[in-house]
Amino acid sequence: MSNMKSISCCLVLTFILVIGITVVKSGNPHDADIEDNDFAEFEDFEDGVEVLEDEDRAEFPDDVEVQQQKEGGAEGEDDEETTIENEDDDDEFEHFTDEDEFIGFDKGQSPSSGKSKDKLPNLKMTEVPGHLRTNWDSFYMEILMLAGLAVYFLNFIHGKNKNHKLAQAWLQSNRDLLESNFHIVGDDGSTKEAQAGTLMKESENVYALWCSGRSALEGMLVELRLLKRQDLISTMTNMFKPASDQILVTIDLDKNVMDKFVFAIAMKRSCAKLHKEMIDLSQFTEKKNLDKYSDMPSSYQLLSEVGEASNALLDKKVCQVLTKFEGQVEFMHFSDQFCGAKSQDESQATKMPEVKPVMIFCFNVPGKGKSKPTDMEQMKPLLQLVFYCLEKVSRLQLGKEARNKSEKNRKKAEEQFLKAAHSQLQEAAQLRREEKRRNEKERIMNEEDPDKTRKWEERESRREMKRKQPKMKMMKI
């Protein structure tokens, strides 16, 4: 019995001990030391255990208060540690505030600390320059250049096409007249066999037509000198200073077909230029009045060598055409001594220039730069004037007095030319002698021989005295 009682007491005590342990476990489920563990408040979240609600806290008020006290104590210890660390940092950089180490140091200004949390730095965004921004304003130069190229290209195409249309319109309107007067019209000379109907394109604004196969002349060259409509700068210049398209007709006559005379009639605005630049006009012609030609417009000026030739050429029909097409006929130049314009080179030729008989006509296309293909068709009467004057010149025969005057003028011109050429040869010979004497003097000076130098100076002095002595004429009695 006593054994049974002792066993029963052990079981009761064991049961009571288990209950006590269970109660303690419920208050501290993780078996953590509350007094020593500073991170006890985070252990509920680490193991996924639910946080105690208000009702659970009511069941264990003592444990909650103890835990809050521990948390407050932990926070106080952290503040003390932070303060200690800041003091250590200040002591570490204290030598930077020493006035003896740094010149011009302001002790009142505290050094900036990277760990200061009192005031954050004021960050400012750097503005991007305007020329680096990707917008259309940055490419205005490129846009202007592309626009200029586009305008230039479009003007080139338009101007080239318009000049081509004007040239073709003139050829189509005068083809029948040309073919009736010449055997070959439009031969470009590229092949041995003669071709017809070819309008040679020398440039975008110059076209040429060669005609041959007629008696009394070698051929006729028609040049269509149109405005440079393909050039944008020329187009803009023509807007402020209008100009006209021109047609230049040059006829090369056979020798002995034209009599000896030089004749020209031109607009007053171009007459002075022709008289100054053309060799034959400046040598043989003089300005004449047109008072006796009642039908002649006052805007023209006459340059004539022989009055008989002028009277024969300026008949009633020619005067009517000049009156009707006043301003369109720029000039007419007929000469048997044609040798072109004066050379820009100052040196004069030593040989007589080759001359040939020619007839030159210059016509202005109506429209003053705004010509149309229909304006080319209206110029057909002027081409008929060319063939009329060709017949007049080939049949013209000067009288004896007029012919003697022409021959006298040509001999005088030849003598003047030979005299000028002789004086030019003398000047050239004098220059060569002076150059030779200069070279000889330099050679003697370089030899450093006093005897040769003295002899050369004496010889030069005698030559100079002899040249200065007056020339004496000896007379026999």
More confident residue, 474 or 444: 444
Structure tokens at 267: 């607009």
- CA–CA distance, 54 with 280 (Å, rounded to integer): 132
- Asked whether residue 390 carries a pLDDT value surpassing 70, the answer given is yes
Residue with tokens 């047609």: 247
- CA–CA distance, 364 with 247 (Å, rounded to integer): 6
Work out the pLDDT band at 35, boundaries 50, 70, 90: very low
pLDDT (average), residues 73-97: 50
The pLDDT, as a whole number, for residue 198 is 81
Q: Is 83 helix (H, G, I), strand (E, B) or coil?
A: helix
Whole-Å CA distances, 445 to 66, 433, 442, 462: 129, 18, 5, 19
pLDDT (tens digit, 9 = 90+) per residue, 256-294?
889 999 999 999 989 999 999 998 999 899 998 888 887
47 with 30: CB under 8 angstroms?
A: yes
pLDDT (average), residues 8-30: 51
What's this model's pTM, rounded to 2 decimal places? 0.64
Nearest alpha-carbon partner for 178 in 258, 246, 251, 263: 251
- Angle 247-249-254 from CA coordinates, rounded to 5°: 175
- Asked whether residue 118 carries a pLDDT value surpassing 90, the answer given is no
Radius of gyration for the alpha carbons in the chain, expressed in angstroms and rounded: 59
Sequence length of the chain is: 477
The domains of the chain are located at 144-402
Structure tokens at 147: 């626009």
Phi-psi region of 249 (alpha: psi -120 to 50; beta: other; left: phi over 0): beta
Q: Which residues have C-beta within 8 Å of that of residue 106, sequence separation ≥ 6? A: none
Structure tokens at 364: 């202005």
Work out the pLDDT band at 51, boundaries 50, 70, 90: very low
Structure tokens at 463: 């030559």
